[in-house]
A and B are shown apart, each in its own frame.
Chain A
Amino acid sequence: LGEVPPCINSTAQMNWLNRGDVRKALHIPDMLPPWDICSDDVGGNYTTQYQTMKDVYLKLLSMGLRALVYNGDTDMACNFLGDQWFVEDLGIKATTKYQSWIHDDQIAGFYQQYGNITFLTVKGAGHMVPQWAPGPAFHMFQSFITNGPY
Chain B
Amino acid sequence: QYVPDETTHLPGMMFKPNYRQWSGYLRAGPGRFLHYWFVTSQSDPLKDPLVLWLNGGPGCSSLDGFLSENGPFHVNDNGATLYENKFSWNKIANVLYLESPAGVGYSYSDDLNYKTNDNQVAADNYAALQSFFNKFPNFTQNEFFIFGESYGGIYAPTLSLLVATGPAKFNFKGFAVGNGISSFALNDQTLIYFGYYHGLFGEDLWHDLNKNCCEKGTCNFYNSTSEDCKELVYEAFDTVYESGLNAYALYLDCEGHSRFHRGYERTMTHLFKNYRKPQQSHKFLNRGPSSVS
Contacts and interface: CB of A to CB of B under 8 A. Distances in A.
Contact of B194 (A54, A81, A125): A81
Given A26-B106, A49-B119, A128-B69, A89 B186 contact: yes
B178 A35 contact: no
Closest 4 interchain pairs by CB? A126-B249, A9-B256, A2-B267, A15-B79
9 contacts: A10-B64, A22-B10, A27-B7, A76-B247, A77-B247, A86-B183, A126-B179, A129-B69, A141-B92
A127 B80 contact: no
A82 B190 contact: yes
A27 B248 contact: no
Interface of A: 1-17, 19, 21-23, 25-28, 32, 35-54, 56-57, 59-60, 63, 65-72, 74-83, 85-86, 89, 116, 124-132, 134-135, 137-138, 141-142, 144-145
B150 interface: yes
Nearest to A136: B87
A54 B183 contact: yes
B218 interface: no
A74 B188 CA distance: 15
A2 B75 contact: no
Contacts of A32: 106, 108
Nearest to A45: B115
Nearest to B160: A60
Interface stretch (B130-138, B167-175, B275-283): B167-175
A16 to B, nearest CB: 5
Q: Is the interface of A mostly helix, strand, loop or mixed?
A: mixed
A121 to B, nearest CB: 10
A150 B113 CA distance: 44
B108 A16 contact: no
A16 B75 contact: yes
Contact of B153 (A28, A53, A59, A79): A53
B126 interface: no
A9 B187 CA distance: 25
Given A8-B256, A128-B149, A82 B182 contact: yes
B234 interface: no
A126 B249 CA distance: 4
Given A1-B56, A83-B179, 19 more contacts: A3-B59, A5-B257, A12-B78, A17-B106, A22-B12, A28-B106, A35-B106, A44-B266, A47-B116, A47-B117, A47-B118, A50-B154, A53-B154, A76-B241, A78-B181, A82-B188, A126-B249, A130-B65, A145-B51
